[in-house]
């Protein structure tokens, strides 16, 4: 099923179109308290459709919140879900969609999802995660991260409103756009890459590079471009998943309290030149020659003739955006970082990264 995207249209107008297409009567609106202050949320409240608003969730959302969302969806007889927000709101809405029809009085992760035809609508408020284009969601249960994957949770409808990006702090814009760029880069070199995923990645990279400065300066068209670029990068990782850059960044985020996109950029900046210098350790079954060609194509997507030039340009971009390296507090932290990487994620990486290599890479990511 092809995703239907509406760009810079009045929210009420889009909802009316979806109502007519899917005979929707009542919306469950998943939206945190901050996003409820946005103009797009106020527009939705004025739409001529019954609505129930749900904001009982936190960043890194809990399965208990999903249970409550499913309970409300069922009790209120909502027949469509819309998520307004960033990654957390999207994750909660996706999980409610997946587990609709299950018993909300029992832990949902212990139940088998029941297939349903409930339309899921996404209105992202940042240009970065690409969550509106992927089959992935995350929630926490008993302190443990639950990675949830299902094709059924890819939103059927997406509403892009470039005006929601205008009020974002500059630093948040930088971090989210770097998340999207890292998605595109990692997908390009992933062992799971395909010709289709590479087209998405290449388009996202070119669009981000062409629009970045204008986007950061507040240009409306550039903001619209960034929303589409993040979506396209999301489509790429929906096929390939991410690689070592993201696998390495999660502990950097939690340990040093920096945003995800900032951490991902720091990791990719050291990972990229390392892999270029160690192509002989290729683990992609398509071989070292294929990997070399992939790095060449990636460089060309960035507008450079040589892979080393593209990697150096990315390094310079991280510095130009002021995404500083966190300060290392002790040598023990390097052991914590290198031991934190999910080995499953590393399997997507085209060059082998034993723990001692991760240790050395983290030493370059942080500063003494």
Q: Find the mean pLDDT for residues 279-299.
A: 97
144 and 179 fall within a common domain: no
153 and 245 fall within a common domain: no
Distance CA 136, CA 84 (A): 17
Q: Find the mean pLDDT for residues 298-312.
A: 98
Distance CA 95, CA 90 (A): 9
198 and 239 fall within a common domain: yes
- In percent, the amount of the chain with pLDDT more than 70 equals 100
95 and 143 fall within a common domain: yes
pLDDT band (50, 70, 90) for residue 147: confident
183 and 85 fall within a common domain: no
Q: Find the mean pLDDT for residues 192-201.
A: 98
35, 85 contact by CB (below 8 A): yes
159 and 175 fall within a common domain: no
297 and 359 fall within a common domain: yes
In this predicted structure, what is the pLDDT of residue 144? 81
367: which 2 tokens? 């500063």
32 and 93 fall within a common domain: yes
Q: Find the mean pLDDT for residues 279-290.
A: 97
Residue 161: give the domain boundaries: 4-165
- 215: number of Cβ within 10 Å: 25
The residue out of 165, 192, 226 marking a domain boundary is: 165
Q: Find the mean pLDDT for residues 300-325.
A: 98
In this predicted structure, what is the pLDDT of residue 146? 87
Q: pLDDT per residue over 204-249, tens digit each? A: 999 999 999 999 999 999 999 999 999 999 999 999 999 999 999 9
pLDDT band (50, 70, 90) for residue 7: very high
Please state, in angstroms and as integers, the Cα–Cα distance from residue 189 to each residue in 29, 59, 177, following that order.
37, 30, 19
Distance CA 69, CA 185 (A): 35
161 and 174 fall within a common domain: no
255 and 348 fall within a common domain: yes
Q: Find the mean pLDDT for residues 186-199.
A: 98
Whether the predicted model's global pTM rises above the 0.85 cut: yes
Q: pLDDT per residue over 49-95, tens digit each? A: 999 999 999 988 999 999 999 999 999 999 999 999 988 899 999 99
Q: Give the position of tokens 């340009």.
A: 313
Side by side, which strands form the sheet with 120-124? 4-7, 157-160, 120-124, 80-85, 26-31, 50-54
Displacement of CA 229 from its chain's centroid (Å): 12
Query: Angle CA(289)–CA(292)–CA(295) in degrees, nearest 5?
Result: 155
Q: Which one, of 85, 103, 109, 101, lies nearest residue 30 by Cα?
A: 85
Please give the mean pLDDT across all residues of the chain. Answer: 95
Alpha-helical runs (H) found in 100-194: 170-189
Helices and strands: H and E segment counts in the chain? 14, 8
Q: pLDDT per residue over 324-354, tens digit each? A: 999 999 999 999 999 999 888 899 999 999 9
In this predicted structure, what is the pLDDT of residue 217? 97
Provide Rg for the chain, Cα atoms: 21
342: which 2 tokens? 């999910």
- 51: number of Cβ within 10 Å: 15
129 and 238 fall within a common domain: no
**Beta bridge mates, 85:** 124
**Beta bridge mates, 120:** 81
Q: Find the mean pLDDT for residues 160-178.
A: 96
pLDDT band (50, 70, 90) for residue 1: low
pLDDT at 5 > cutoff 80: yes
Total structural domains within the chain = 2
In this predicted structure, what is the pLDDT of residue 180? 98
**Beta bridge mates, 82:** 29, 121
In this predicted structure, what is the pLDDT of residue 145? 81
Q: pLDDT per residue over 16-61, tens digit each? A: 999 999 999 999 999 999 999 999 999 999 999 999 999 999 988 9
In this predicted structure, what is the pLDDT of residue 280? 96
349 and 302 fall within a common domain: yes
């Amino acid at each position: 099923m092809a995703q239907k995207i509406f760009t810079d249209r009045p929210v009420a107008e889009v909802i009316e179109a979806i109502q007519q297409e899917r005979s929707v009567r009542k919306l469950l609106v998943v939206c945190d308290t901050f996003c409820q202050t946005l103009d797009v949320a106020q527009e939705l409240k004025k739409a001529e459709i019954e609505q129930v608003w749900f904001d009982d969730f936190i960043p890194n959302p809990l399965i208990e919140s999903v249970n409550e969302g499913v309970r409300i969806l069922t009790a209120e007889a909502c027949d469509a879900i819309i998520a307004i927000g960033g990654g957390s709101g999207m994750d909660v809405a996706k999980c409610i969609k997946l587990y609709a029809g299950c018993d909300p009085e029992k832990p949902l992760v212990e139940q088998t999802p029941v297939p349903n035809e409930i339309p899921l609508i996404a209105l992202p408020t940042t240009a970065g995660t690409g969550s509106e284009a992927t089959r992935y969601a995350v929630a926490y249960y008993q302190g443990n991260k639950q990675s949830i994957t299902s094709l059924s949770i890819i939103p059927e409808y997406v509403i892009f409103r470039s005006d929601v990006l205008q009020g974002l702090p500059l630093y948040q814009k930088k971090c989210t756009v770097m998340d999207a760029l890292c998605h595109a880069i990692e997908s390009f070199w992933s062992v799971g890459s395909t010709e289709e995923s590479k087209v998405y990645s290449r388009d996202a990279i070119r669009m981000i590079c062409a629009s970045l400065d204008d986007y950061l300066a507040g240009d409306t068209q550039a903001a619209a471009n960034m929303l589409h670029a993040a979506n396209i990068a999301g489509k790429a990782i929906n096929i390939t998943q991410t690689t070592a850059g993201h696998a390495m960044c999660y502990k950097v985020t939690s340990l040093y309290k920096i945003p995800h996109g900032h951490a991902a950029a720091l990791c990719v900046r050291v990972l990229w030149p390392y892999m270029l210098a160690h192509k002989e350790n290729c683990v992609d079954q398509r071989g070292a020659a294929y990997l070399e060609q992939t790095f060449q194509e990636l460089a060309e997507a960035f507008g450079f003739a040589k892979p080393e030039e593209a990697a150096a340009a990315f390094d310079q971009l991280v510095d130009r955006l002021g995404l500083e390296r966190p300060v290392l507090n002790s040598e023990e932290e390097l052991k914590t970082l290198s031991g934190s990487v999910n080995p499953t994620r590393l399997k997507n990486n085209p060059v082998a990264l034993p723990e001692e290599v991760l240790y050395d890479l983290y030493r370059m990511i942080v500063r003494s």
